[in-house]
Amino acid sequence: MEETPHNCPGTGSAQAGRGAACQGCPNQRLCASGAGEAPDPAIEEIKEKMKTVKHKILVLSGKGGVGKSTFSAHLAHALAEDENTQVALLDIDICGPSIPKIMGLEGEQVHQSGSGWSPVFLEDNLGVMSVGFLLSSPDDAVIWRGPKKNGMIKQFLRDVDWGEVDYLIVDTPPGTSDEHLSVVQYLAATHIDGAVIITTPQVTECGGSWVGTAPPEALFLAGPETLVCQGPFGTSSPALSLQKPHLCLVQAFAFDK
């Protein structure tokens, strides 16, 4: 194939050969026919790298601000309480990385070794990786198109020296986007053990089509349903209404000082 435009949606995208960026591209007809798509060699490389990771768990949410990253951090900490358990926390929220701040690791940097990128270790048995560690300042904005974000996720899975890991917790961005499609595609051959979906009881949160993307093993955790007014969005579990397994219910109350 001839050289592709900088903002090419990629041959695996539904917009391949049909998007605005494809207009005038010499490969447009080839991509639109599907003939231009070839197996990504990185998938086999990731499969080999992930042989040292026993369990992989995705943490998802239908929208932002429901406590997804906080839950990911708590889950990683809880699993790492056993000093014999090796835990890795991967933040693939490329445009809004919050894990470095939540984990108290702002300002830390990733170092390159002969076997790949070294994660930032909070404890001897808890390693963390995020695009936030690659920024010169926590205030730097990451404004990337899908292919570049996908490339970053590919590097995290293929090039990070995770070592022997019992649990890999993947903190994803809210909603369903390129990041989710990419991480599932890259890990499909290595088996994803399941997912935890963080929700609130609002209809707009738990009734979206994104629920259909959840793996069969997904567990639902209903996030903060109350803050100042008790039960402003109702108290029923979205997991029950969707006939999905329900992990637990988190409540937060405001008290008079």
Confidence at residue 3, expressed as pLDDT on a 0 to 100 scale: 47
pTM score, whole prediction? 0.71
Task: Tell me the angle at which helices 146-159 and 178-187 cross, rounded to the nearest 10 degrees.
Answer: 30
Contact in structure between 250 and 239 (CB atoms under 8 Å): no
Residue that the structure tokens 């609002």 belong to: 202
The DSSP letter of residue 239 is: H
Q: What is the pLDDT of residue 230?
A: 43
pLDDT given at position 143: 83
Q: What is the dihedral of CA 156, 52, 174, 145, to 10 degrees?
A: 20
pLDDT in tens, the chain (257 residues): 444 555 676 666 666 767 777 776 766 776 776 655 566 788 899 999 999 999 999 998 888 888 899 999 999 999 999 999 999 999 999 988 999 999 999 999 998 888 889 999 999 999 999 999 998 887 787 888 878 888 999 999 999 998 999 999 999 998 877 788 888 888 988 889 988 888 776 655 554 444 555 555 555 555 544 333 344 445 555 556 656 555 555 544 444 43
Statement: 41-202+217-223+243-254 belongs to CATH 3.40.605.10: no
251: nearest Cα among 42, 232, 39, 159: 232
Q: Assign 60 to helix, strand or coil.
A: strand
Contact indicator for 88, 165 with CB cutoff of 8 Å: yes
- DSSP reduced 3-state for 194: strand
The helix/strand/coil state of 1 is: coil
Element (H, E) at 155: helix 146-159
User: Could you tell me if 122 and 128 are in contact, meaning their C-beta atoms sit under 8 angstroms apart?
Assistant: yes
Check residue 236 and give its pLDDT: 53
Tell me whether residue 223 is exposed, middle or buried, using C-beta atoms within 10 angstroms of its C-beta: 0 to 12, 13 to 18, 19 or more. Answer: buried
Query: Structural domain boundaries of the chain?
Result: 7-38, 41-202+217-223+243-254
pLDDT for the residue numbered 158: 94
Kindly state the tokens that stand for 79.
Answer: 């699993």
91: number of CA atoms within 13 Å, CB side? 28
- The confidence score (pLDDT) of residue 226 equals 38
Full DSSP string of 85-133 = S-EEEEE--TTS--HHHHTT-TT---EEETTEEEPEEEETTEEEEEGGG
Helix (H, G, I), strand (E, B) or coil at 175: coil
